[in-house]
Amino acid sequence: MNAVILIGRLTRDPELSHVGDNIPKCEFGIAVDRSYGKDEVDFFDVTCWRGLAETVEKYCSKGKEVGVRGRLQQDRWTTKEGENRRKVSVVAEEVQFLGGVDNQEDDFDAPF
């Protein structure tokens, strides 16, 4: 089983791009406190796709609190210098917007 649930704050504004056959892809980072009362924080890179990607880009910004449910993914590559690298990131299947809405629009209805 490969599942992860995280609650944290965005460390940067979401970045929306399109890949392949114009498929939306959104990338952002979150900071997650390890335990209450301590100054320990873990940082995670998160990727989401399609409609979720567009929703996150539209309604999230740096500093907003979110809950992320998804899976871990490990990417591997070799640098130009021949060094092997690895990176573990989160592929989001669901992103919940936490902390309330500070948007002034009355018609806020984000599809989750």
Q: Report d(CA 8, CA 67) in Å as an integer.
A: 7
Looking up residue 57, the CATH number of its domain turns out to be: 2.40.50.140
> How many distinct structural domains can be found in the chain?
1
pLDDT of residue 104: 42
Q: Would you call 34 helix, strand, or coil by DSSP?
A: coil
Q: Tokens 């130009």 — which residue?
A: 80
Q: What is the pTM of this model?
A: 0.81
In a domain, 111, yes or no: no
Confidence of residue 99 (pLDDT cuts 50, 70, 90): confident
By C-alpha distance, which of 23, 106, 11 is closest to 68?
Answer: 11
Domain region containing 55: 4-97
Average pLDDT over the chain reads 89
Q: Render pLDDT for 50-80 as a digit per residue (tens, 0 to 9).
A: 999 999 999 999 999 999 999 999 999 999 9
